[in-house]
Amino acid sequence: MRFMAADVANATGGKVVGQNAHLDGVSFDSRTLRPGQLFVPIVAERDGHDFIDDAVARGQVRISRHVNRRVVAPQLSSPTRLPH
């Protein structure tokens, strides 16, 4: 499945931070990310935001974020927390 970061931003009421990019899928588990996928950090038993650095280290991932964090990767910013 291939889509644009701007499409995700529009669907979630967020915005693209940095350059718009093609996305090749999505994952909430940083261990399973492939280059070009969107990483969505979920807060559950563990806080997915703690794994953003690992996700970035695995390749050219895009980050969906709910907190203001310095990350060197294209990002999607959501104004509110999305439901699980």
The answer to pTM > 0.75 is: yes
What domain count does the chain have? 1
Beta bridge partners of 75: 17, 63
CATH number where 45 lies: 3.40.1390.10
What is the domain range of residue 73? 3-77
Structural element, H or E, at residue 62: strand 62-65
Task: Summarize pLDDT for 9-61 with one digit per residue, the tens.
Answer: 888 888 888 888 899 998 889 899 888 888 888 888 998 888 888 888 876 66
Is 83 a domain residue? no
Distance CA 84, CA 68 (A): 20
- pLDDT over threshold 60, residue 82: no
Q: Looking at the domain assignment, is residue 63 inside a domain?
A: yes
Cα angle vertex 71, ends 34, 64, to 5°? 60
